[in-house]
């Protein structure tokens, strides 16, 4: 409970940063908007590349080798888009923590300066994701479970890779090593912090879903949009908070100042292991 209280305190400190720089919440929205044309382009390519067999009774479509190539390239492209805007959010948070006044333009500019390392990291992370997906589809239940656990471990260990790239400008493998090193120094508490923010997000999401569901029983045309809007707003806010929190953790783990965050709470939550 004490550690969860620390997670609440860190989420509250992240919220204070977001209130001071509401522009940071625009970046998850831009990320979603930017993925739409990319998904549409490659989704259309996948559809067109399908092999079509038509008989008098049936019409079947099946993937071709080109379908898999287009799908893989599209997956990597989407990964890059998401990581770029995540990096922009981290860049804006870093600017705020270092005494600046970030804007959407300055955050995007900060990410643009690291676009090479971000692209390289997206290709590495995306390739790992594709390999894990391919293995998951070909293995039995136990193998699928093992692959999912590996995927979760990868996501956790690489959580600080984007802050490393934005702050240090390192390549994908150096960023991976640094992220893993920072994770090992705070591994137990780091996990609790990540999980704690997810639990808080679910707790915030729940009242809106319950109220919207109750309204939808009587007035579906009101309740259903209410649920959608609430879910979108909460998702946007917590995506921004996640970026701010991971930036704060990165600064603390590397011995840098984290203005607006209680040093005692950070020390109690993240006991650095040298």
**Do 61 and 51 touch, CB atoms closer than 8 A?**
yes
pLDDT of 7 reads 67
**Do 8 and 14 touch, CB atoms closer than 8 A?**
no
> 218 or 78: which carries more pLDDT confidence?
78
* pLDDT higher than threshold 50 for residue 1: no
227 closest CA partner among 241, 207, 201 = 207
Averaged pLDDT, 245-268: 78
DSSP string covering 51-64: EEEE-SS-EEEE--
pLDDT of 264 reads 64
pLDDT of 10 reads 77
269 closest CA partner among 190, 159, 197, 180 = 190
CB atoms within 10 A of CB 173: 11
DSSP string covering 11-74: HHHHHHHHHHTGGGGHHHHHHHHHHHHHHHHHHHHHHHHSEEEE-SS-EEEE--HHHHHHHHHH
Q: What separation in angstroms does the CA of 170 have from each of 57, 129, 177, 195, 274?
A: 58, 21, 10, 27, 22
Burial class (CB in 10 A: 0-12, 13-18, 19+), 176: buried
Averaged pLDDT, 40-44: 94
The tens digit of pLDDT for each residue in 190-238 reads: 566 666 777 788 888 888 888 888 888 888 888 888 888 888 888 888 8
* pLDDT higher than threshold 90 for residue 245: no
Cα–Cα distance between 185 and 165 in angstroms, integer?
Answer: 19
Sign of dihedral through CA atoms 88, 90, 92, 94? negative
pLDDT of 142 reads 77
Least confident of 12-26, 32-46, 192-206, 219-233: 192-206
pLDDT of 270 reads 58
* pLDDT higher than threshold 60 for residue 248: yes
102: Cβ contacts below 8 Å, ≥ 6 apart: 21, 23, 24, 91, 92, 93, 95, 96
**Do 162 and 121 touch, CB atoms closer than 8 A?**
yes
For the chain, domain boundaries: 2-269
Instruction: Please state, rounded to an integer, the average pLDDT across all residues of the chain.
Output: 85
Residue 124 gets which letter from DSSP? H
Could you identify the residue written with the tokens 């040093």?
263
The tens digit of pLDDT for each residue in 113-143 reads: 999 999 999 999 999 999 988 888 787 777 7
pLDDT of 194 reads 63
Averaged pLDDT, 245-267: 79
pLDDT of 89 reads 95
CA quadruple 91, 94, 99, 102: dihedral, nearest 10? 30
% of residues, the chain, pLDDT over 70: 88
pLDDT of 255 reads 82
Cα–Cα distance between 12 and 197 in angstroms, integer?
Answer: 10
Which band of pLDDT confidence, cut at 50, 70 and 90, is reported for residue 175? very high
pTM for this model (two decimals):
0.84
Averaged pLDDT, 157-176: 93
């Amino acid at each position: 409970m004490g550690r969860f209280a620390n997670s609440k305190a860190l989420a509250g400190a992240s919220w204070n940063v977001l209130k001071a720089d509401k522009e940071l919440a625009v970046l998850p929205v831009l990320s979603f908007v930017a993925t739409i044309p990319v998904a549409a382009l490659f989704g259309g390519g996948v559809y067109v590349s399908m092999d079509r067999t038509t008989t008098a009774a049936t019409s079947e479509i099946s993937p071709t080798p080109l379908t898999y190539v287009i799908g893989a390239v599209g997956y990597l492209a989407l990964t890059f888009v998401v990581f770029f805007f995540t990096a922009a959010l981290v860049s804006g948070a870093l600017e705020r923590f270092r005494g600046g006044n970030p804007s959407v333009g300055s955050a995007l500019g900060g990410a643009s300066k690291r676009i090479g390392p971000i692209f390289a990291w997206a290709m590495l992370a995306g390739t790992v994701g594709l390999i894990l997906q391919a293995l998951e589809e070909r293995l039995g239940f136990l193998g699928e479970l093992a692959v999912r656990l590996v995927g979760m471990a990868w996501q956790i260990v690489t959580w600080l890779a984007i802050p490393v790239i934005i702050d240090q400008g390192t390549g994908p493998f150096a960023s991976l090593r640094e992220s893993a090193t920072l994770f090992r120094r705070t591994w137990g508490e780091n996990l609790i912090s990540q999980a704690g923010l997810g639990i808080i997000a679910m707790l915030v999401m729940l009242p809106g879903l319950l109220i919207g569901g109750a309204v939808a029983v009587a007035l579906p045309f009101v309740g259903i949009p209410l649920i959608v809007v609430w879910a979108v707003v909460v998702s946007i806010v917590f995506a921004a908070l996640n970026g701010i929190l991971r930036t704060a953790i990165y600064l603390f783990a590397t011995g840098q100042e984290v203005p607006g965050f209680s040093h005692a709470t950070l020390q109690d939550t993240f006991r650095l292991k040298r």
